[in-house]
A and B are shown apart, each in its own frame.
Chain A
């Protein structure tokens, strides 16, 4: 096939890049939509006057439509130019540039793609530094110790008339905080030194999907009405989803979330919450749906809905039968590991031992700044049971922040849990599977 015989293909590619419908372009150049369709499928030749009109409508040179320049290079070069202070008048000639110097255009496009990829990596690493629960807690501990040392030292330095007992007390405080500061710094260095190589690289597909869902606030209004066939469009061109694997995974979750939103449409669901409260079991009974579906739906509600201001946005963790975490929605104050399993005491894992039985447990997160949560968990089969096929189970846990006075019966204490053994300081925990990096063992 000659180069010019692919003119229709190039016209279609250029039209799509500019977001024009086929019928719009047809109208702009004075032909029928059906004729334009035949042109774009290379089944009609394009006359010289029509080619000129199409090129003008698309804002490109005629050469760009008849020569075999790679449109990726053109767009790459254009994107590179738009990032700089380059003279935008030259931007009109980017097609000409790519046509005359395809090798240089490729270099420019490849460089631009690399810059975009590296920017995503930097953004991801920065996000990780900000949201790593252990780093946050460790830095808080260090800053608190520094604050105490600085403030106490300033009192001793600025005052000549401090009573001896106060002097002794402040000296002791400084000594204790200095030790704490040293231990905190050592623990922090250990944490950074022992981080796996995998933790410093690019994100795994699951992380990318979680980052993408997080950017959308774990809510996609269009899901309720969008046809199933159109879901794949939602995962295309998303900055976070850099690989085919992450896009496949994202699509799988979209399909499942769509099932959830269709079974539990937003308005009736919120109305039921207003009437019944956010108790997952009551909502499941009210709508006649499985409990895991309600747990997922509660974690996928819009954060900016005025009707939901009284409800704290919960976190969500889902694991398969092996205990591998397959989805995490973070919630402030409840640490979730980025790699490996979570705390063995989580009701998420307890539920795996008693499929079909809902668990509700009050949790207190490990550490001096521990926070209380109510966890709702249940394990259920992923598919209909059948003979000669192994059961595939999945456990789901909703984690709801629990502020204010506790509702626990008198004498009953919340269950203390961590994020993972590595970053949990509970030394006497019977479920510990590896030493904590936060504790200095004598």
Chain B
């Protein structure tokens, strides 16, 4: 069975590109722009890797990460956080909340694929 990646990203063209490159690499990729709904689904059906945008409407990537790390079922889930805000303060906050990898936009496709492989040891 394919390993699963969930992408929470509100830019449809970015999530479409990520879906394409990871699907081509053999992953099953689900995409959503709704962070609040995704948090519920993550608890019941956790993916192998979560790709999480920081700037989401209503419920930010930090809020989602905080919720995941507070739940034993998702505490250790590998999370790659993507952001257009590259400030050191954001990176530090993400690390404080337990992010696995932090990547600033624009990113190279190969970097994303390599990060996902590395986080899952594939």
Contact = CB atoms under 8 A, between A and B. Distances in A.
Interface of A: 136, 139-140, 143-144, 146-148, 150-152, 154-155, 158-159, 166, 169-170, 173, 176-177, 364, 368-372, 403-405
Contacts of B72: none
B17 A370 contact: no
A155 B14 CA distance: 12
B105 A143 contact: yes
B58 A370 contact: yes
A370 B14 contact: no
Given A368-B10, A369-B55, A403-B59, A151 B109 contact: yes
Given A369-B56, A372-B58, A403-B59, A143 B84 contact: yes
A371 B58 contact: yes
Given A152-B16, A166-B20, 6 more contacts: A147-B106, A152-B13, A169-B16, A364-B58, A371-B58, A371-B60
Nearest to A139: B84
Interface string B47-67: 000000001111110010000
Contacts of A147: 11, 14, 84, 105-107
Nearest to B24: A159
Contacts of B56: 369
A235 B122 CA distance: 60
Contacts of B36: 404-405
A368 B18 contact: no
B115 interface: no
B80 to A, nearest CB: 14
B interface, size bucket:
20 to 34
Contacts of B85: 136, 140
A155 B21 contact: yes
A146 B106 contact: yes
Contact of A403 (B17, B20, B60): B60
B1 interface: no
B108 interface: yes
A403 B106 CA distance: 27
A144 B17 contact: no
Given A369-B55, A403-B60, A151 B17 contact: yes
Contacts of A364: 58
Given A140-B55, A371-B57, A404-B59, A151 B10 contact: no
Leading 3 A-B pairs by shortest Cβ distance: A143-B84, A147-B106, A151-B17
A175 B85 CA distance: 24
A146 B14 CA distance: 10
A151 B18 contact: yes
